Amino acid sequence: MKIFLVGASGGMGRTFLSMQDQIEIVAGLASKEGEIEGVKIYKEFSDVKEDFDAIIDFSNKDLVDQTIDFAVEKHKPLIEATTGLEDSSMERLKQASGKIPIVYARNYSLGINTMTDLVERVAKVLADFDIEIVEAHHRNKKDAPSGTAFMLLDSVKKQRQVEEIYDRTDLHRVRQDDEVGISAIRGGSIFGDHTVIFAGEDEVLEIKHKAASKKIFAKGAIKAAKFALGKEPGLYSIKDIMKMGD
């Protein structure tokens, strides 16, 4: 399977480039043209000459619309992993999925996606427990809260009507029953930690996921690319990928 990698010079891009024993990166796109780990890197989509089977995008939200147009032009499956997308980009993804297969997820870790299922189930069973979501990432992550924190919040919302609270500094009141607090921590080189706390009377249940390496996200995206090959046009989720055998 031949992959064109968008965001090749970023942290996730370099992770993919270090895993070429598992995947063939034929070329990539980044802010500066050149070569990384023997792979040709372009600055403009219009200059790309190589053929490939699928596109994996771990770049930034400002580049997503161009990436979608490139995928449609080349008629190739797109594995979209960029977080913090604008509503207009999401709409563009949906429209493009009528022409090509697109897999979109805010987190490609299979462990995290299992966690979202667990959180949904526990939110239903422990209906009177307070819920807090805490996420921690490296000091260079720009968006906060993380896309994964919003995934976990969405799981809660499937079972409860809640209001998310990001800052209690000026509230000056006791916690309300329908609140879900979301806290973001930024520091050091933390790859990504997510905890959902269910706090009841005299007992606390925590569901936690710790990422020890960015490779877990790359492995999920590679699995998604294999899934997308030969699929009909459509917008697919990580849940579809998890149903697929190795």
Cβ(69)–Cβ(46) below 8 Å: no
Q: What is the pLDDT of residue 112?
A: 94
Has this prediction a pTM greater than 0.85?
no
Question: Does 176 score more than 90 pLDDT?
Answer: yes
Strand partners, 195: 134, 208
Express each pLDDT in 76-124 by its tens digit: 999 999 887 889 999 999 999 999 999 999 889 999 999 999 999 999 9
One domain, residues 23 and 116: no
Q: What is the pLDDT of residue 242?
A: 82
Express each pLDDT in 59-81 by its tens digit: 989 999 999 999 999 999 999 99
At 88 the three-state DSSP class reads helix
One domain, residues 11 and 96: yes
One domain, residues 203 and 123: yes
The residue type at 110:
L
Q: Which of 2, 74, 141, 157 is catalytic?
A: 141
Q: Is 137 part of the annotated catalytic residue set?
A: yes
Express each pLDDT in 192-225 by its tens digit: 999 999 999 999 999 999 999 989 999 999 999 9
One domain, residues 189 and 201: yes
One domain, residues 190 and 221: no
Q: What is the pLDDT of residue 245?
A: 54
One domain, residues 101 and 166: no
At 48 the three-state DSSP class reads coil
Any idea what the CATH number is for the domain that residue 171 is in? 3.30.360.10
Any idea what the CATH number is for the domain that residue 59 is in? 3.40.50.720
Torsion, Cα of 196, 224, 158, 207 (10° steps): -20
Q: How many domains does the chain have?
A: 2
Q: How does residue 241 score in pLDDT terms, banded at 50, 70 and 90? A: confident
Domain region containing 144: 110-210
One domain, residues 116 and 184: yes
| Nearest in space to 96 (alpha carbons), one of 231, 237, 240, 234 | 234
Q: What is the pLDDT of residue 106?
A: 86
Q: What is the mean pLDDT of residues 50-67?
A: 95
* 48-to-25, 29, 74 alpha-carbon distances in Å: 13, 9, 11
Q: Which of 76, 137, 209, 214 is catalytic?
A: 137
Please enumerate in sequence order all residues whose Cβ is within 8 A of that of 244, keeping only pairs 6 or more positions apart, or say none: 223, 226, 227
